[in-house]
Amino acid sequence: MTASLVTGGCGFLGRHLVAALLARGERVRVLDTAGSASLPPGVDAVIGSVTDASAVAQALDGMDRLYHLAGIPHLWLRDKSGFDQVNRVGTEIVLEQTARRNLDRIVHCSTEAVLIPWPAKGPRMVDENTRTGLDDMAGPYCRSKFLAERAALEAARGGLPVVVVNPTALVGPGDPNGTPPTRMLRMLAAGAMPLHLPCRLNLVDARDAALGHILAAEHGRIGERYILGGETVAMADLIDRVASLTGYSGRSRAIPGRLALAAAHASEWLADHVTHRPPQAPLTGVRLALAGVELDTSKARRDLGFTPRPLAETLADTLRDPA
């Protein structure tokens, strides 16, 4: 029986991955700062942070595989240093501890955002071979994830069995904390988004992305990355789809990019210095949306057998979810 550790296993994607591993008959342990109340029976929980080397070491004892999902998924923090501390430093600590053990596979969860340059430089189509630098990142969240992924790939070159996956925007049921894409869908469903960016988004069901992690562990090549993406949809089309599912009229006007950037700058300044609450449209999110890239997701489908479900099913399940 394979024993797998999932860091961040109490989060949106993590809980779906835990459920998928249990369904395969694996022994599962979770390392998370949250308690174990939200975890299914039979899951071994270690309460702690990936920034705590002793907690990471305890969680890794007796494990065969590691799925490193722990991180801050939000696009704004009052204290921006939190992104680097958890996403980059936490990853480095996890990799340091795994280097002392003999795991058969390590799957590092990165993000599509590290492949998207800002300001947009082209090409419009990006894939796993796209090269970006730290200066191309759209904000502190992206910089921290870029550095974390770079550490993971360097560890693979150093001999650790690391495979990197880059999920696109995660949606689906079971997201009580509301990651940015889920919050966007809930706002659309409530008719609370009178303005929108005329952009295109790649959305993937978190349940499918969780299975993609397992496929990466079983079929992914060490030292390579795989974009776990679903359907690319224009924002106007997404609004219409949500309207058809909820009965909301779908009245939302497109806002010019320059105006959206100016509003995002102002909104984030107020959040940083006045309200100390997340802005409705984080600057990083606006930049990523305006970058105007398309994601080539064919590698994961071809090499891993990754087959995400139709977006229509995901949207229906997301909007039906009481969370």
So where are the chain's domains? 3-170+203-230+296-307
Closest of 218, 198, 212, 194 to residue 286, by C-alpha? 198
Task: Name the residues annotated as catalytic.
Answer: 141
Nearest to 306 by CA among 65, 150, 185, 128: 128
CA distance from start to end of the chain: 33
**Domain 3-170+203-230+296-307 sits in which CATH superfamily?**
NAD(P)-binding Rossmann-like Domain (3.40.50.720)
- Please, which pLDDT band fits residue 252 given cuts at 50, 70 and 90? confident
Give the strand pairing for 44-47 and 169-171.
Answer: unpaired
Runs of H (alpha helix) within the chain? 12-23, 53-60, 81-83, 90-98, 140-157, 180-189, 206-219, 235-246, 257-270, 283-290, 298-299, 311-320
pLDDT bracket for residue 250 (50, 70, 90): low
**What are the tens digits of pLDDT across the range 253-310?**
889 989 999 999 999 999 999 999 999 889 999 999 999 899 999 999 999 999 999 9
